[in-house]
Amino acid sequence: MDTKSLPKTVTLNNGVEMPLIGMGTYAIPQLDQVIYESIKKGLRLIDTAWFYGNEKEVGLGVNKAIDDKVVERKDVFVMTKVWYTKKHDPESSLVEQLKTLNLSYVDLYLDHWPFSINMVDGKEIKTPRHVFWKNMEGLVKKGLTKSIGVCNYNIQALQDILSYCEIKPVVNQVEFHPYLYQKGLLDWCSINGIHLVAFNSLCKGKYTTMFHNEGTTLNLLEEQVVKDAAKKYGKSVGQIALNWSLSQGIHIIPSSSKPERMQENMESDTFTMSKEDIENIGKLNKDYRFCPATIQPGVNYDGFA
């Protein structure tokens, strides 16, 4: 059995180092304290978004850790996202988000959705992607963010950006887990130097109960192949699920309101599963999406993955 640890960070296509394990912050109570305690336990990557409405709490937790000299600002990788109604002016959005976060810059600014809808004087305004991306590149040049990336993009939408961009997206954050094994997207992104960041890696929490998925019987942590691997490697079923993504070079951002659980999540890189075990878990694929927002009827998402 291979007990070799997996890498802690990867180098993005712009030379920036990014942790492979982080924390998602959607719908977590007392978030500032959870972040502070988790940073004390080793957390270095934090994911948030304007839409989550929690950037103030994220900033409080990060700044408390900095003020208490637990970490320096350069040690914590903070990523947030622009909402689709604000893509006509991402600079104004990020400036306001930085004020809320009480930070002078973020490490990564993501396009939350591959479409743009904004109402101005009662008229719907859609910002062309090439115009939007040029404005995103300006945020890097002005030092407001160190890197830029995207969320929920499929290959066609990514290829569109690559055809004209000056600064490539460094990551694509998508729903990715054994039930939704987007291997084609993973392979294409790897070839083109774009890292995947997976959300909903554990298939737990709000994403499994919202809207049309309410009452789903799918439970990744109860799958026999996952439980067998946990027994084999002497790890928790959650660590097996997370290691499955890490073993393929995918960033993970599992959520938890308990710092001790976050520490367990962060220890998911302390072992290496065999290629056979990774493939067997991947056979759970059902092309099943838990996140209802990605398949909401009546909305043309123009390129989501």
Q: Give the 3-state secondary structure of the chain.
A: CCCCCCCCEEECCCCCEEECECEECCCCCCHHHHHHHHHHCCCCEEECCHHHCCHHHHHHHHHHHHHCCCCCHHHCEEEEEECHHHCCCHHHHHHHHHHHHCCCCECEEEECCCCCCEEECCEEECCCHHHHHHHHHHHHHCCCECCEEEECECHHHHHHHHCCCCCCCCEEEEECECCECCHHHHHHHHHCCCEEEEECCCCCCHHHCCHHHCCCCCCHHHCHHHHHHHHHHCCCHHHHHHHHHHCCCCEECCCCCCHHHHHHHHHHHCCCCCHHHHHHHHCCCCCCCCCHHHHCCCCCCCCEC
CA gyration radius, the chain: 19
Q: Tell me if residue 301 is catalytic.
A: no
CB-CB contact of 105 with 99 (8 Å)? no
State how far the Cα of 70 lies from the Cα of 9, in Å rounded to an integer.
20
Considering 26, 36, 52, 207, which one is annotated as catalytic?
A: 52
Q: How far apart are alpha carbons 63 and 46 in whole angstroms?
A: 13
Measured in Å, how far apart are the chain's first and last C-alpha atoms? Answer: 35
As annotated, the active-site residues are: 52
